[in-house]
Every structure is written in structure tokens, then in C-alpha cells.
Amino acid sequence: MEDVSTPAPAPDLDDPQLFLNRELSLLAFNRRVLEQARNTALPLLERLRFLTICSTNLDEFFEIRVARLKQQVTFGVGHAAPDGLSAADTLGQVSRLAHELVDEQYRILNDELLPALAEHGIRLLKRGEWTRNVQAWLKRYFESQVLPVLSPLGLDPAHPFPKILNKSLNFIVSLEGDDAFGRDAGIAIVHIARSLPRLIRVPADVAESPHHFVLLSSIVHTHIDPLFPGMRVTGCHQFRTTRNGDLSVDEEDVDDLLQAVQGELMNRRYGAEVRLEVADNCSTRMSSFLLRQFQLSHQDLYQVNGPVNLNRLAALYELVDRPDLKYPAFQQAMPISPDLDMFAQLSRADVLLHHPYQSFRPVVALLRQAAKDPDVIAIRQTLYRTGSNSPIAEALIEAARAGKEVTVLIELRARFDEAANITYAQLLQEAGATVVYGIVGYKIHAKLLQVVRREGDRLRRYTHIGTGNYHPGTARAYTDFSYMTSRQRIGEDVQWLFNLLTGLGEPVKMNKLLYSPFTLHPQLLQLVENEIEEARAGRPAAIKARMNALTEPTLIRALYRASQAGVQVDLIVRGICRLRPGVPGVSDNVRVRSIIGRFLEHARVFYFYAGGQESLWMGSADWMERNLFKRVEVVMPVEDPLLKARVLNEAIELYLQDGEQAWLLNPDGRYTRAEVGERAAQQLLLERLTSEKPAVTP
């Protein structure tokens, strides 16, 4: 008889085992950042900076992600994620991995970084290392600069446990002795004002070295006794609590979104507690007392061997003038001169800028020239993150005062940038600009700028579309693309989108652009499907995509189907990735890598072979549920052959060859360093792009 084997059943692409957990993936990203602090090939102060970045990232992780998980557990809401883990299960695993990560942070600080810094004469003096001269100077410093702003709070029925400010430095003090009023609680809280610097440089003539520092917490601890005259201090321990930092604004139930966000900013300081950090020598009695006050469990307690806020050590980077211990300085290239007529230059050709290698100044120059140009009649812009003292916002204010029609869509809910955005919203309104706060239920995350200029008998639109924010500061630290063009069809699309966002109407089909929450997700699925059809027909097919995060289940399943069809899929995902590559029969043809380097990888670029036509897109959207369904995002095609080749090479190909800063995602969710490959993509781009000369008008 003929042997007829039964074909294996097709894998179930809904199987939770095929999806990695979002929170655990984010912790894995922070582990990769922390590994940079251990990398002895990096300059020493840069290693310290990576340590503090990891600490800051972890703060935000607790403020947002852990806080949300705790809410879900408390109220019994939410459903299991695609990976099958409940909120409670995820919270348990998060606690275990976060404790390991925190312990490793302090081990690296104490065993590796501080000894290495000391070898270079940079010392963080512990109390046992203070000379008499140092002790005397610090005593005077405490009495003149610190003591006047301290207000100890003894706990008794008239003085209950205070509301502790989010992430603030505090001390819990145990006392013995007779109080003047007969109070016998024996516990006091000392809050350290945020106005006080946490890292104090000891004068060179006192320390006999230019780079000796002392933590404010050590100074306070040493001089705590004078705060409690006649009492005996039996214990003094620093602590910090992290609170829920997410804003809870019910947009459908407020009359004025700006006022509602302003009110919530104050509440953020005192949201529900999610984490307690204490010095590792804090007694069990004291730490248990604090846990009870904050209504936290033992798994929320983090006992640390060092300052409770490692991010405060970031000040060392600026305070120590040692270029030999930092990345070499570089001059950003200026391929298009901001001193020349931006409109004339954009009339001739599109301009592509790759930040931070190439300066953001031409984008600012376009807006500044538009503010002064009498032929410019209208300016439209989205603002998500601007930072303080923003030249972009100042130029918009100048344009409004000059009588231009200025329309600005400001996202008031840009996390942790709300205060700056509120300030500029008010200033723009006072200057006469039309300010719109977005759409109820949707954040405006698209990066769009458009200038409308009268040229002869017609109006011409000049448009900027970016992958990053209109923030000159981050443009020096994040890798992003800026695309400036006067192409009519792109200009029309951007105007239609602004009209839709500021006015009313049905979604319109754009000439060129894809935008969420309407056309972007279905078109991405179609682009993947096209590659699947090509592969099934026996023709070459490939997908290459770079983004900050990949979490959306439908797209992940589509990529799995593409792999099964034989499509070669290469993904560069900086942070969270829920896709599991290399699973036999499911994702054999999918490779995922993450690049951690000097600059924060931030650009979003998507490539599809498209039967040899090579479709290339760039814009503001990650492949996450929030970006595709709950935000307004814009992605544009790069069609100019020369610029398309540049973006493909600079954003993707160099990164796929990186053998120095690349981490490869394994099927089990672990990341390992790439063992083979070319030099670091970021270094190659520094060498290639920063050597360019400023453009000149022919």
C-alpha cells in the first residue's frame, strides 16, 4: 500500500505562546540599556549616563505600566493579553524581574562605575571618607544652604503621616527621649525640598581635588540631630515613593480640556503609590511601617545600596569637564543652509534631513522665515513635544503677531510634557493663533508643518513631515528623519488632514499619505498581504521595518503568515516587541534586532519589496494599538529615487549589518548581542553625514 502521510495541522496564530508579554519586553529593553553601563568599550561618563537613563526609564515604567496593572488587579477589570497572562500574573513576573534589574543597577554602580571613576579622580565621597576639612565645609554648607529649608514632621495624632510627593527624597527618623510637649510617637519624617541640589561639589581647595562630590542625602543624614534638639536619633533612612503618573481625564465629560489637564497635573504628584524605595540598612520595622502607610505589599519594596534616585547622578556628567571620558563631540552637518531662502531651495527639490547627524536648524529656519515673509499667509502645525524655550513655538507666536493665519494642534496630553504644552497653548492664543487641542479620545501624534505662501497668482504649500517631535533638544539626541517638500499632492493631503482635525467631516482618501486611525492599519495589512501573494507566486518578497515598538496582534499575525509564505522579514525594533521570531513553522523567516547606542533610535521606516518597485514609507507611527487606533498618525511614501535610496540605506540596511550595537531577539524572548557584522551603524552615519559641507546656492 502507498504510504500517505497526514499533513501537519496549520499553526494556530492565536496561540498565546506566539506572543511575548508587553511589560516583560519593556523590562528587557531596560536591561539592554543597563548593559551599556557595563560596556567597558564606552567612555566612562557615558556608561554612568546609561545607568541613569535606565533608572529614569524604570521610574516611568512604574508610574505608567505598573500603576495600570495594579488598577486592573484592584478593580478586576481588563482581559488577558494576547500572551495569555492576566494582570496579576504579569505583575508578579514584573516584580521579580524589576527587583533583579534594580539590584543589578546598584551592583554596577558600586562595583564597577564608582571604582572606575575614582581611578580618574572623580569620587563620590562616603561619610567615612570625609577629611576634617571636608567635614567642616559640609557642616557650614548644611547650616547655611540646607537647614533653613528643612521642616521635620513628628508623627502624632495632630500630625498624621504626610502626603509624600511623587519621587521626592525623604527621610524617616526614629527617635528616643523626652519631647517638650510630651509626644512619644518616636518617628519623624523629613522632606527634602526639590530646590536643593542632590549632588554637591566640594571645593577643590577643601577636597584637594577638583572632582570630589557628596550626595545631599549623606549631608542630611550626618547632620540630622540638630533638627531634634534634646532627642536621640536612633535611625535615619532615606526613602522615595513612586506614584501613578498617568493623567485620568474623562475627555467626554469635561467642558474645557485645558483646565481639566491643568487640574490633573497637580493630582499626578499625589497619585496612588506603586513602589517604595528605601536604603538597604533600613530596619524591617521602619520599612514595614512605610509600607503600611502607603498601602503597599512587600513585593513593592525595593531596598537599595545607594541613593534612592540614581538619576540624580546624571548631574556628574555636566559637572565633570572631562571630554576624554565622554563621546567625542561632533558638528551637526548643514546640507541645506538655514541662512538662505528656504522657499527657493524647496521649490527646486525635496530635502531630507537625518537627525542628529544633520541639523534641525533648517526646519526651524523654514518657520522663522515664514513668520517674517509678507507673502506667507497661513501656517499650520502639530505640536506633541516642544520642550521649554522652544524656538518652534516662539516662531509660531511671532507669525501670529505678524497677522498670519496660524493654526496649531497642540496635544495637551503628551505624557510628562503637559505643563510645557499648556504654557505654549496659552501664549499662542494670546498672540492670536487658533489653538486646537485635538480630538476627544485620540491623541495628535503626527509630525506636520505646513506653510502656505502666495507666489504670483497662485498659492503654494511647503510641507514638513517628520518621524520625531518639533523639539530641537531631542533632535540632537534622537535618530529621526525630516522630509521637506513643496509637492502639491502631499501639500493637499496635509491640508485635508488639518481640515478634518480642526473641523468636521468624514475621512477622506488621500493622494499619498496614510493616516490613523483610518487608512494606516488596513493599508499596512494590505502591503504585507501583497508580499505574501508575491512569495506564494514564487517571486521575490521582502519586508523590512524599523520602529520603536511592535505590539499590534493583527499585524504580528500578518507577519507570521508572511513568514510561512516565504517572505523574508527583517525588523529593527528598539523597545517592546511582542512578536516571537524563529518559531518553527510560524516565524522561521522573521529576524528581530534592537539597536542600543549613543543616540536613541526613534525613526519609523517601513519597506516592502513590492514586486521590485520597492515601496518605502516613513512617519510618526509605531505598530502599536494606540498608534494605529487611538492616535492621529501620518506616514508618507518616499518616492524620490535618490532620497528613497538614502532612507533605505541609512535607516535600515546599515542597521541590519550592525555587529557592534545590535541585540538579536531569540524565540524564547531573550536578547543576545550580535556576534558578527559590520561596524556600528550610528558611528558609520556620524562619519558619513557629519563630514558634509553646508549647501550653497548655485
521 class by beta-carbon count within 10 Å (0-12 exposed, 13-18 middle, 19+ buried): buried
* Grid cell at residue 453: 505662501
Task: Please give the full DSSP string across 576-644, using - where no structure is assigned.
Answer: -B-B-TT-TTTSTTEEEEEE-SSSEE--EEEEE-GGGT-EEEEES--BSHHHHHSEEEEEEE--SHHHH
Question: Residue 556: what residue type?
Answer: I
Closest CA to 226 of 142, 133, 125: 142
The residues assigned a catalytic role are 445
- Whether the CB-CB separation of 432 and 441 falls below 8 Å is answered with no
Per DSSP, the three-state class of 697 is coil
Q: Please name the residue ranges forming H helices in 3-42.
A: 22-38
3-state secondary structure string, 65-113? HHHHHHHHHHHCCCCCCCCCCCHHHHHHHHHHHHHHHHHHHHHHHHHHH
How far is 535 from 70, CA to CA, in rounded Å? 45
How far is 613 from 527, CA to CA, in rounded Å? 12
How far is 218 from 175, CA to CA, in rounded Å? 19
Residue found under cell 523590512: 544
Q: What is the DSSP letter of 438?
A: -
* Cα distance from N-terminal residue to C-terminal residue, the chain: 82
* Grid cell at residue 229: 534638639
How far is 471 from 375, CA to CA, in rounded Å? 26
How far is 192 from 170, CA to CA, in rounded Å? 6
For 370-405, b/e burial (b = at least 16 CB within 10 A) is bbebeebebbbbbbbbbbeebbbbbbbbbbbebebe
Q: What is the DSSP letter of 657?
A: T
Cβ-Cβ contacts under 8 Å for 318 (sequence gap 6 or more) = none
Going along 208-300, which residue ranges are E strands? 212-215, 232-243, 273-279
Total H helices, total E strands in the chain: 22, 27
